[in-house]
Each structure stands twice: as C-alpha cells, then as structure tokens.
Amino acid sequence: MTEIDLKKSAFSEKHLIAHGKKPFTNDPWFGRQLLPGQDFIGEADFLSLDDAAAEIKASNKRVLLNIGDSSTAGWDTRVTAVNKQRLKKEEPLILAFFQYPNYSDVLRQQAGEQLIVLNAGIPGHTTLQGVRRNRKLLEGLKERGITPDYVSFYFGNNDCQWENNIEDKYLVRSNLPLFLDKQRIKHRKPDFERIHLRTNLRDFEANVRMMLRDARHFGAIPMVILPETPIYWEPGFRFVADNFLIKDDSPGANMVNAALAKATKLWENAKETDWSVQKAADLSKASELDFVIPRIKTAYRKVLESVARNANVPLVRTRIPREDNDIEYFVDYCHPIGDANVQIATKLQEMIKACDEGHYADAGERGSLLMRLLDSNLFGFIGRVLSRGKSSSTDSDASDDIYTLY
C-alpha cells in the first residue's frame, strides 16, 4: 500500500466536502446514492445522465457501463484516515474519489478512442442495490435514446460483510406495497444462532442472475468481474477505525468475534512464514473467517463463476501473485489499485473483443416465471407508487457505513 499524495485534492474545492456535509444521500428504495446530478464518476469529476447522454450522442463510440461498489468507484480509504483528523478540527473533508486511476479510468486511457466508459460504482453497494441501480440507469439511458453496448458488474465484497445480522433487504423497501413491507420488517426475528451476512448466498445468486437478464433485456451484453482481495491483510482491520470492536450483545456478534479471533491467530502464525501451500491455505482461511471487513467469500466467488458459465457471460479474472505480500495490488482490504486495475481493464477489452467475435451468444436464461414477476420492474413500480410520500421504518440513515468517514 502506497502513501497518498493529498496535494492536489487538498487545494481543489470540488474535491472537498464542507464540514457537516456528506457526499451521499440515502434513498428508501435504492439505499446509498451519490448527490443529485452525480450519476457517474469521471476521471476528475462527476457526470450526470444528461451529460453522459450528450457525450455519447456526439460521438460514434460504443458504450461500456461499469456498475459496482467502491472498488468500481475507486474509493480511497487512505483519505478517510486523514479525514478522521480533519473532522476533529472541523475542517472540510477530502473526497475519497478521484485519488487514483480505477479500472474505468485505465480503460478510458487504453481504449478511449473507441469506447465511452461510464463508471457507476457506489461505495457500500451490494448486489441488491446493484439490481436496482442497473435498472435505473438502463431505463434512464433508454429514455435519452441510449443503449449501452456492454454492462459489467463488480459485486461480492459488501455482500459478504456482517452488519449486526441484518441483511440489506431489511434496510431498504421491497417490491411490496408499503403496508405489507412494514409487516415484512416488523416480523423479522433476530437470529442469535448463526451469522447472517448483508446478502445471503441464495439472494446473491438471484441478484446476479437478475442483473444479467436485465442487461440483456435492454440490449446490452453483460459481463461479470470476479473480485480479488488481499490475503495478507490483517483480519478485522478497517483503515479508518483500526480493529472495529463488536459488542457481543448484537445478534450473531459472539460468533463473529469468535471467528475473527480464530482468523487473527491463523493470520499471525502464517504471515511471516516462508511461502507454501499451507501458508496460502491459512491466509485464505483467515480471510474466510473474517466477516467484519468486506471481502468476498469462496462460496460467493463460486456463484459468480457458475452463474457466468451457465448464462454464457464473460467472466473477468485477474491474477494476483500471493508468494509475497499482495497489498501492492490493493489500496487496503479490497480495493484494487495499480496493476490490478490495469488487469481488469485489459481483460474487459479482451472480453469485448470476444463478444464482438460472437463467442458469447445470449444463452436466454430466464429463470422461473414467479421469480421474474417478483423481481419485475412492474412490481417495483407498483410498490413505489403505493408507498410514495409515506414514511417507513426504513427511511433512515441505517444504510450509512458506520465504519467510514468518507
């Protein structure tokens, strides 16, 4: 992990957040959102849907829409560590975007003459928000006469994080009308017997399948990016708050803490040993047992691989050397930087070329009629109309990332 140079952002007003302000809003349906007019993340500034549409129409270039979480957005936790001190001094906070080239930036540099790249990453998003944001952006672009040629998806890290045993689907509204949605949330019983991550594995698979189907429905070719994370990173270590202490009285907390203790012991015993198959296994297992920080788990990786294979969708893989400390490929616990982003951008170009050559025909995977109805835009529209203008127990800042100082 390299030190950050804050000179540019420290003197750029558009990269500062006024004291007491936040760079996000919270929507009861979409969860965390960027501020109005900030639909996409450019190399040095935000871009609105209208601005993006105008740029696309003025060119003859094809369009790649990259949807994902903070790894897509290019989130820099080295900035958030500095902001912890600036907050105490009541100084403007530094925006954690635009601090290093993300894979969308790299792809613009590599193929900007032939391709317009739209970065639609939002920090903290899981596949649940991904499904909804994907539809929103594709619908918004369609209304402006734009159909992206390709859509890539980068999800899995936040889905595998533990947040007090509450899944994301209980923090945002569902497709149900408001009065039924309240009952859904009201009758959710805390589970003290097992660990619940932000997205359970079954929902994760359904969400990924839905994103791929929706992309094809709107005429785009979908692609899946398989996240990589560092195995040398200390379990439970968030760059802002160091080791975040979890109280045992939360549902599932005692099990999360027990798993973290085991993960930390494995990590401590293995990190300085010579490279071997056993070291790789121990460091990987330590990552698997750490539910505090957002790092994708093996079962979720296998879902991405399986869904992409069954749907005949390009799967973007990167190769991170593990023999030595792999942190040079990451900003922190999960965000790719440097060569890792170069690999992603390069692989995306290779997959686009393969698609153009006809190697990935639409497999026509549709799923059950019931699932298509429950996840359909129609039901979502009905639910939002019926609940419009009404308050809900989910209309709060519950989706704010309590670990992050932006």
Interval 264-292 mean pLDDT? 97
- Phi, psi angle pair for 355, to nearest 5°: -65, -45
Highest mean pLDDT among 15-19, 176-180, 289-293: 289-293
Here the tokens at position 76 are 């820099």
Give me the DSSP letters along 255-298. Answer: HHHHHHHHHHHHHHHHTTSPP-HHHHHHHHHHHHT--SS----H
Residue 39's pLDDT is: 96
* Residue with the larger pLDDT of the pair 176 and 215: 215
pLDDT above 90 covers a percentage of the chain that reads: 68
Instruction: Give the pTM.
Output: 0.87
Here the tokens at position 120 are 């639609």
Q: How far apart are CA 263 and CA 285, in angstroms?
A: 7
Residue 79's pLDDT is: 87
Residue 33's pLDDT is: 95
Give 69's pLDDT tier (boundaries 50, 70, 90): very high
Q: What is the DSSP letter of 234?
A: P
Which residue type is seen at 79? V
Q: How far apart are CA 38 and CA 14, in angstroms?
A: 13
Do residues 298 and 288 lie in contact, with contact meaning Cβ atoms separated by under 8 Å? Answer: yes
pLDDT exceeds cutoff 90 at 245: no
Do residues 19 and 91 lie in contact, with contact meaning Cβ atoms separated by under 8 Å? Answer: yes
Residue 18's pLDDT is: 75
Q: How far apart are CA 339 and CA 314, in angstroms?
A: 21
Here the tokens at position 111 are 């193929």
Buried b (16+ CB within 10 A) or exposed e, 214-234: bbbebebbbbbbbbbbbbbbb
Here the tokens at position 406 are 């932006």
Interval 19-47 mean pLDDT? 91
Which residue type is seen at 241? A
Give me the DSSP letters along 26-77. Answer: EETTTEEEEPTT--EE-SSSEE-HHHHHHHHHTS--EEEEEEESHHHHT--H
CA distances from 111 to 104, 340, 345 (A): 10, 17, 9
pLDDT exceeds cutoff 50 at 224: yes
Of 47-56, 181-190, 279-288, least confident by mean pLDDT is 181-190
Q: What is the DSSP letter of 403?
A: T
* Domains located in the chain, CATH noted: 7-162+197-233+295-365 (3.40.50.1110), 234-292 (no CATH)
Residue 5's pLDDT is: 55
Residue 348's pLDDT is: 98
Do residues 167 and 198 lie in contact, with contact meaning Cβ atoms separated by under 8 Å? Answer: yes
Interval 78-107 mean pLDDT? 89
Interval 365-394 mean pLDDT? 43
- Phi, psi angle pair for 330, to nearest 5°: -140, 150
Do residues 354 and 315 lie in contact, with contact meaning Cβ atoms separated by under 8 Å? Answer: no
Interval 351-374 mean pLDDT? 67
Residue 116's pLDDT is: 97
pLDDT exceeds cutoff 50 at 246: yes
Of 121-125, 196-200, 240-244, 368-372, least confident by mean pLDDT is 368-372
Residue 266's pLDDT is: 97
Here the tokens at position 167 are 């899944």
Interval 7-23 mean pLDDT? 64
Q: How far apart are CA 211 and CA 133, in angstroms?
A: 10
Here the tokens at position 57 are 């129409």
Residue 334's pLDDT is: 96
Q: How far apart are CA 234 and CA 272, in angstroms?
A: 12
pLDDT exceeds cutoff 60 at 9: no
Residue 3's pLDDT is: 52
Residue 14's pLDDT is: 64
